């Protein structure tokens, strides 16, 4: 895709389309004249997104989808092909948050978070990539792009969010491998990994969509409450908006860039970590530039 004008009348599939980044991806797609396939587990949010996009004049297929269930992603792919006949742009975007000291995360915590944040991307890649490659094989003018939404947490390891870190690191690895694999077989389909930092979205309240069978019988631990509150504050204080992230993503797609970062200054932590790795040194202090946060967290955990 050389510019966003080529996206008019093309089909975009967006998971987690009912809020946050997904909703802004949908709004951007509608403004560009794209056909929209919207998926979300939250039915009322999905319906609101559908109504808004249709009100903006877009053709919309909205389908309630639990991205952790492979059969539901496959059903989404089948419905997309039946309705629109092709997929040109895919956002594997659905995500949920996690907090607390890593050993306090329950099996249910791991299953829910990895199910959405990692398996959701895996299922999306497995279901849609073959369809996009088949379209490329049939049409030499076809161009497609896959965007996997990870996080800066996929590149650094802040304490108190271990389950989330693990999932997002895996998404970065998956995406880099997808990039190399695609390069072996086609020049018509590209991919990117989007790594936002703290941006005001609904991810800090993602418990609202947690399945009952993956809920915890035990109450939240002190560390889960403390780090969850700190994460919420960081997310809500983010200066960059979800709409700006969508603009950044579509610009990156047009330029066929792989790494899409919202906060380049945060890459300093990545650089420090890489230097420690190749220098065989211990991981650097994630609070190196803001030691007061470490003090605040340590104090809260000991209360």
88 Rama sector, left if φ>0, alpha if ψ -120 to 50, beta otherwise = alpha
Q: Say what the pLDDT of residue 293 is.
A: 86
Instruction: Give the whole-angstrom CA distance, residue 288 versus residue 160.
Output: 16
Which DSSP state fits 156?
S
Instruction: Give the whole-angstrom CA distance, residue 263 versus residue 240.
Output: 9
Instruction: Give the whole-angstrom CA distance, residue 260 versus residue 273.
Output: 19
Going along the chain from its start, the domains and CATH numbers come out as 4-271 (3.40.50.720)
> Burial of 56 by CB count in 10 Å (0-12 exposed, 13-18 middle, 19+ buried)?
middle
Which DSSP state fits 67?
T
Residue from 96, 47, 92, 91 nearest 209 by CA: 96
SS3 category, 285? coil
Instruction: Give the whole-angstrom CA distance, residue 181 versus residue 186.
Output: 9
> How many helices and strands (H and E) does the chain possess?
10, 7
Q: Say what the pLDDT of residue 290 is.
A: 85
Residue from 44, 45, 22 nearest 36 by CA: 22
Sign of CA dihedral 52, 240, 295, 150: positive
Tokens encoding 272: 């420090």
Q: Say what the pLDDT of residue 31 is.
A: 97
Q: Say what the pLDDT of residue 5 is.
A: 64
Q: Are 245 and 199 in contact (CB under 8 A)?
A: yes
3-state helix, strand, coil in the chain (%, to 5): 55, 15, 30
Instruction: Give the whole-angstrom CA distance, residue 161 versus residue 28.
Output: 30
Tokens encoding 29: 């797609």
SS3 category, 12? strand
Q: Say what the pLDDT of residue 4 is.
A: 64
Instruction: Give the whole-angstrom CA distance, residue 180 versus residue 174.
Output: 10
Query: Residues 6 or more apart from 271 whose CB is under 8 A from it?
Result: none
Residue 170's H or E segment, with its range, is helix 162-185
Q: What is the DSSP string of 114-143?
A: HHHHTHHHHHHHHHHHHHHHHHHHH-TT--
Q: Say what the pLDDT of residue 2 is.
A: 47
Divide the 303 residues of the chain into consecutive groups of 10 and give the mean pLDDT of each group.
76 97 98 98 97 98 98 98 98 95 96 98 98 98 98 94 97 98 98 92 82 92 90 81 96 97 89 96 90 89 83
Q: pTM to 2 decimals?
A: 0.95
């Amino acid at each position: 895709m050389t510019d966003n004008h080529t996206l008019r009348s093309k089909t975009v599939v967006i998971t987690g389309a009912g809020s946050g980044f997904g909703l802004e991806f949908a709004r951007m797609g509608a403004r560009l004249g794209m056909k929209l396939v919207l998926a979300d587990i939250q039915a009322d949010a999905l319906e609101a997104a559908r109504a808004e996009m249709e009100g903006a004049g877009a053709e919309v297929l909205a389908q309630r989808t639990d991205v952790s269930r492979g059969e539901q992603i496959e059903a989404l792919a089948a419905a997309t092909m039946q309705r629109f006949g092709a997929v040109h742009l895919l956002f594997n975007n659905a995500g949920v948050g996690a907090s607390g000291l890593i050993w306090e995360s329950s099996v249910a915590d791991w299953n829910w978070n990895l199910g959405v944040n990692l398996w959701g991307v895996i299922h999306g890649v497995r279901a849609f990539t073959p369809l996009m490659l088949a379209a490329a094989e049939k049409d030499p003018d076809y161009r497609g792009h896959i965007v996997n939404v990870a996080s800066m947490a996929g590149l650094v390891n802040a304490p108190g969010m271990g389950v989330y870190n693990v999932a997002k690191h895996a998404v970065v690895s998956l995406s880099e491998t997808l990039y190399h694999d695609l390069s072996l077989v086609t020049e018509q389909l590209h991919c990117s990994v989007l790594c936002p930092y703290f941006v005001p979205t609904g991810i800090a309240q993602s418990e609202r969509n947690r399945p009952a069978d993956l809920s915890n019988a035990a109450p939240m631990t002190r560390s889960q409450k403390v780090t969850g509150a700190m994460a919420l504050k960081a997310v809500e204080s983010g200066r960059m908006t979800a709409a700006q992230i969508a603009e950044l993503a579509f610009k990156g797609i047009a330029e066929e860039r792989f790494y899409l970062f919202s906060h380049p200054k945060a890459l300093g932590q990545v650089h420090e970590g890489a230097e420690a790795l190749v220098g065989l040194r211990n991981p650097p202090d994630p609070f190196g530039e803001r030691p007061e946060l470490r003090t605040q967290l340590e104090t809260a955990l000991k209360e």
